[in-house]
A and B are shown apart, each in its own frame.
Chain A
């Protein structure tokens, strides 16, 4: 059956860490030195015929990779077997390597249960020590016990963000634990509508390749394999090299990195999460809401470019609906991988204009009940990560009538058990100025500071207005 290629609502990203359950994603790895005959990629136009070419760029790149390309495995400490694997690459002569945070997250959060090992593409094996993590950019810096080894350099043009769309890239890793692989693809600039910069790479990344390097023809790193889009074709994402270079730079400036306790990393995860979220909500607050018209109302809409907006209607439903619902929904692709069972950070703004077709006042109110329940979307299992939800509801007037209609407002919030200062909040306002027509406005914020949530909530309610 053909799959329609229209983009619908946002599809979840798949991280490329490999695990026993191959539906999970993983990062990947380096290459064992098997010279595959690959394409010469001098230009995009001659690649198809170059498959049989000798000394292709890919072949040359891969030939140099083995000692620098790693598979990083997470082992259950007591069982001594891998529970997930990804890739990584050396970035300094004294054994520092870059991978994804999500490749090492289990070892970062539960250092007593998990440990890390690497297998290099040249066959070398050994222990991996976690030094630093960068949660927002999904990067981690690790050390392996090797000195004076060759390593990957960063591509200068990539650090300065000067690459041209269409440039040929080569990504390496160990997909699905099948062995080190090099794949070819195209640089397509930074993705739109994302808060965190991600390179759009058109190439076949697979679970297990997370953390592997993507290089240009000169063999220098321009990004780190991180994720693919479920439901897309060859839609893959790289973390831009400059974040990896920053992480390396910060580590070399900080003497602490030579002797890191696992508990430091664990508390660093919480600190980074809180700091990153507060920056994000600050920039959302600074951008303020734009006022959009929706029927007889004016509604707050997100201005920030990293929101992705869609509309929907029930006008064409069968059987014919007894109330018409026209909705706009803006969501942000700002969730961040914290643990294999916790992805948090989505922001969601939803407005539904509901009008009766043949419902009376009471039936219409019942109809509204269905679509105005607070929904705290959870990023992971409740009992492990969240406290119980607490709600408050009331009738609120956010400003002077008649511009500001009376609202029925429900505010529900839950806290994160393990992250001081982070909460999930769901705010729903239903206009109360008319009995057969209403606006249901919803603001959902994951992993937000409470004061930020209150400030945004206030502005959100103020911006729900009756058009003059």
Chain B
């Protein structure tokens, strides 16, 4: 006895035929034991017989398109079937298994749903929203209004749910399970990273007079975005991770490139830096106060840069 399995394009079993005879014929014609509706399959295509030693041998009975195994491009006229091979005839994939084909042990079912990820998601989600709310409160200098809190917070929460929903849907389609909680955790961790980075950059801009962290925040945001996307793609399936990684890296490089180009062009057009010179309560200052001579030495060195800008701005044009 043997089993003939016809697989879908996703390599899932689409049909399975139990064969008790020692020989089976496979093809498009109705005189076969297993009939395959594939126009690229010959009327009589494949024959599988059990040899005296008990092994199964498949034999191409003269098809025009040939028989292939495991993605190889070389057609075979006959070969020994081991049950693991993926056999292609025409555009159809088959697996041929003997009754005593060994199967893996069953997976152990989890005793119950894990509570930890739910708690984790809740904690991170609440902290992300709390950081946002705190930030709104601390930068609120006009009359306090409830809508200044609700509008941005609801926008964040809504966008987050739509985003997670889309990835869960993709997971459901391609991996069979939606992994909603895992996708939610991935994006929450990403959001928390963005929030923390922004706070850190702003603190650094004031306390250490290091404004580059704010100027180049978009690089950090793109990086985090790429890692989050990779995490979602990994949930869909662990196969071909290098391809997914490459795709995400391409998006990352493209995003950073386009934004850098935009900023540099805007700077060329306006001559103004987008940097906001940030202030915080004086007690947060982390660098020592300079004396004014040291400060003005730095200011003096700006002159060289300005003069270089001037000589580059219109080379060859005479000065007034």
Contacts and interface: CB of A to CB of B under 8 A. Distances in A.
Contact of B141 (A367, A383, A435): A367
A197 B211 CA distance: 45
B320 A269 contact: yes
A406 B279 contact: no
Interface in A297-335: 319, 322-323
Contacts of B295: 394, 396, 409
Contacts of B310: 387, 415-417, 420
A419 B289 contact: no
Interface stretch (B4-12, B58-66, B263-271): B263-271
Contacts of A457: 296, 299
A392 B271 CA distance: 15
A281 interface: no
Interface SS of chain A: mixed
B292 A462 contact: yes
Contacts of B280: 362, 365
B298 interface: yes
Interface stretch (A61-69, A116-124, A368-376): A368-376
B54 interface: no
Interface string B283-311: 10101111110011011101101110110
B292 A398 contact: yes
B282 to A, nearest CB: 4
A418 interface: yes
Contact of B302 (A361, A363, A383, A390): A390
Contact of B138 (A363, A391, A450): A363
Contacts, number: 154
A461 B294 CA distance: 13
A382 interface: yes
B202 to A, nearest CB: 10
B275 interface: yes
A188 interface: no
A361 B281 contact: yes
Contacts of A242: none
A392 B302 contact: yes
Nearest to B207: A395
Contacts of A415: 306-307, 309-310
B306 A372 contact: no
Contacts of A373: 276-277
Interface in B201-219: 209, 211
A369 B278 contact: yes
B273 interface: yes
Given A395-B209, A395-B287, A435-B283, A413 B139 contact: no
B143 A319 contact: yes
A362 B282 CA distance: 10
A454 B296 contact: yes
9 contacts: A366-B141, A369-B279, A387-B313, A390-B306, A391-B273, A394-B290, A397-B291, A418-B320, A454-B296
Interface of B: 137-143, 209, 211, 267-273, 275-283, 285, 287-292, 295-296, 298-300, 302-303, 305-307, 309-310, 313-314, 317-320
Nearest 6 pairs between A and B by C-beta? A270-B320, A387-B309, A362-B138, A361-B281, A432-B282, A388-B271
